[in-house]
Amino acid sequence: MSEIGKMYIDGQWVLAKSGKTRDVIGPADGQIVAAVTEGDKEDVIEAVAAAKATFDKGDWRRTTPNERAALLHGIADKLAARIDEFAALETLNNGKPLRDSTYDVYDSIDCLRYYAGLINKPSGQKYAVPNPDMEAMVVREPIGVCGQIVPWNYPLMMAAWKLAPCLAAGNTVVFKPSELTPLTAIKLFEILEEVGIPAGVANLVLGAGATVGQEIAENMDIEKVAFTGGTVTGRKIMTAATGNLKNISLELGGKSPCIVFDDYDLEKAVDWAMFAIFCNQGQVCSAGSRLLLQDTIYDAFLERMAERTKRIRIAKGDAEGAEMGPLISEAHMNKVLSYIEIGKEEGARLLCGGYRMTEPEFADGYFVAPAIFADCTPDMRIVQEEIFGPVLAVQKFHDEEEAIFLANHTAYGLAGGVFSNDLSRAMRVIKAVRAGITWINAYHPTYPEAPWGGYKQSGIGRELGTFGLDEYTEIKQININLAPGNSGWFEIR
């Protein structure tokens, strides 16, 4: 096996102080694909010290927007020259089909270039205040040392979404990938070093959530924590971040509705509904994991959807033409399978899939045949809880009012889609859906230009777009006195 994957702290590639290592497992066959160093609390403390010293020194935050833009473009250029290499590594570590990994690399490049382009655009505000001799304005400044924690479902893309705006704004950072998928993050940091991001600006710490992640959330010298992951973890991070009242942004879980009215082309709606739930093996925060069908098309729709779902090409991610791959880990597969048992016990009707695939080519990997549960009722656990796998819960509605009620009957509010040729109705429904990312007559397409984030228990704050840059800045008001006089408050004696 090749060299142990290292952390990048203060411009040096280092092993964890504890000397511990972690095996990285490929989900396609359960084999060890790499070993990486396993950081702990003390490694975070060292990385934070480097990030703080670098921020306080001031050289980085005083680089011009054009200098930072050139660095971000440099990272994007290097990624663009190595798309196949990054995609293959992501597929090896995460299991997703090569087509998906390749798309993720393109998205990461787009995100880096978007923020490279945004940072030298006009920003700030100027106010007309009641005193004609005072000029009042607002400028945006970097926050300081940021901590970033990301999950395993889009390892490289999540790193790009987090690092690009953070560095664009002039912060320094301690970044933690998921312990399950550290490989593309290590390669990305190699690129950060190659393009000349100064030592101490961007630091990579590898390790578990309970140790490295917890210290990032707690550390008193980190002024902002940005997290993407499950809602339960998000709650822990929010609690841990209270010590120094960190600025916080949370991109959490979802249980998003995909609503189909009977006036929309059935074949096309089936196609989108499949994409909504089964892309990335259903391991998508914004997945359309609740399908709401109008009663008039319910049976015909489900018959066609089950027929097409059974024909999805499931294969190892690097196989030609693979459409779905394995789930991320054995533990996660078992969690998903346990939800399928719960669905059966709750009385939902399983139309297809819902079992571990055991044919010889799948036997050692974590493959689950995509499952559709019909006849679900609003309070079933498979309707209310995020499964984060290829499991769809289908409900029937009669009219617009019922569709909206069911769509909002959840603690989450990340995403939602509606299909209807009646644009007025589609607009009424989507406006009534309490979610941050929505579509009409589509599901999933999103771009770095537009904000990403949820209502309710799906999170706090927004990534991407101009909002995503704002999340990494402090707002400062500056008042300039143009008059030569005194304050006039106390008599001069």
Residues 299-328 contacting ligand NAD, CB under 6 A = none
Query: Is 483 in a helix, a strand, or coil?
Result: coil
213 lies in the binding site for ligand NAD (CB under 6 A): yes
User: Can you tell me the distance from the alpha carbon of 454 to that of 414, in angstroms, rounded to the nearest whole number?
Assistant: 4
Name residue, tokens 């393009």. 195
253 lies in the binding site for ligand NAD (CB under 6 A): yes
Q: Enter the tokens of residue 354.
A: 């819902």
User: Can you tell me the distance from the alpha carbon of 89 to that of 186, in angstroms, rounded to the nearest whole number?
Assistant: 11
236 lies in the binding site for ligand NAD (CB under 6 A): yes
Binding span for ligand NAD by CB under 6 A among 225-233, 265-273, 290-298, 481-489: 225-233
237 lies in the binding site for ligand NAD (CB under 6 A): yes
- Size of residue set near ligand NAD by CB under 6 A: 30
Respond yes or no: is residue 251 known to be catalytic: yes
Interface pick for ligand NAD out of 27, 74, 151, 182 (rule CB under 6 A) = 151
Shortest spacing between CB 328 and ligand NAD, in angstroms? 8
Interface pick for ligand NAD out of 129, 210, 363, 411 (rule CB under 6 A) = 210
DSSP 8-state class, residue 170: T
Interface pick for ligand NAD out of 95, 142, 165, 209 (rule CB under 6 A) = 209
User: Can you tell me the distance from the alpha carbon of 311 to that of 305, in angstroms, rounded to the nearest whole number?
Assistant: 10
Respond yes or no: is residue 285 known to be catalytic: yes
Residue among 403 and 415 whose Cβ is closer to ligand NAD: 415
Binding span for ligand NAD by CB under 6 A among 73-81, 128-136, 227-235, 466-474: 227-235
Q: Identity (one letter) of the amino acid at 4?
A: I
Cα dihedral angle (40, 43, 49, 51), rounded to 10 degrees?
-90
416 lies in the binding site for ligand NAD (CB under 6 A): no
Lay out the site mask for ligand NAD across 382-401 (x = CB under 6 A, - = otherwise): ----x-x-------------
| Length in residues, the chain | 493
Binding span for ligand NAD by CB under 6 A among 44-52, 107-115, 222-230, 352-360: 222-230
DSSP 8-state class, residue 330: H
Shortest spacing between CB 346 and ligand NAD, in angstroms? 21
User: Can you tell me the distance from the alpha carbon of 96 to that of 87, in angstroms, rounded to the nearest whole number?
Assistant: 10
Name residue, tokens 């609740």. 290
User: Which is nearest to 354 in space by CA: 367, 337, 366?
Assistant: 337
Shortest spacing between CB 306 and ligand NAD, in angstroms? 25
The per-residue DSSP string of 261-280 comes to -TTS-HHHHHHHHHHHHHGG
User: Which is nearest to 205 in space by CA: 3, 43, 13?
Assistant: 43
Residue among 167 and 437 whose Cβ is closer to ligand NAD: 437
279 lies in the binding site for ligand NAD (CB under 6 A): no
Q: What is the largest CA-CA distance in the chain?
A: 95
233 lies in the binding site for ligand NAD (CB under 6 A): yes
User: Can you tell me the distance from the alpha carbon of 332 to that of 368, in angstroms, rounded to the nearest whole number?
Assistant: 11
Binding span for ligand NAD by CB under 6 A among 127-135, 206-214, 290-298, 394-402: 206-214
User: Can you tell me the distance from the alpha carbon of 355 to that of 391, in angstroms, rounded to the nearest whole number?
Assistant: 11
251 lies in the binding site for ligand NAD (CB under 6 A): yes
164 lies in the binding site for ligand NAD (CB under 6 A): no
Residue among 264 and 452 whose Cβ is closer to ligand NAD: 452
Q: Are 281 and 324 in contact (CB under 8 A)?
A: yes
Residue among 375 and 467 whose Cβ is closer to ligand NAD: 467
User: Can you tell me the distance from the alpha carbon of 233 to that of 213, in angstroms, rounded to the nearest whole number?
Assistant: 10
Please give the helix or strand (H or E) that residue 371 lies within, else none. strand 371-374
Binding span for ligand NAD by CB under 6 A among 193-201, 210-218, 396-404, 440-448: 210-218
Side by side, the strands of the sheet bearing 134-142 are 125-127, 134-142, 473-481
Q: Are 368 and 333 in contact (CB under 8 A)?
A: yes
Residue among 228 and 281 whose Cβ is closer to ligand NAD: 228
160 lies in the binding site for ligand NAD (CB under 6 A): no
254 lies in the binding site for ligand NAD (CB under 6 A): yes
The one catalytic residue in 285, 386, 400, 471 is: 285
Question: What are the residues binding ligand NAD (CB under 6 A)?
Answer: 149-153, 176, 178-179, 208-210, 213-214, 217, 228-230, 233, 236-237, 251-254, 285, 386, 388, 414, 454, 459
- Active site positions, annotated: 251, 285
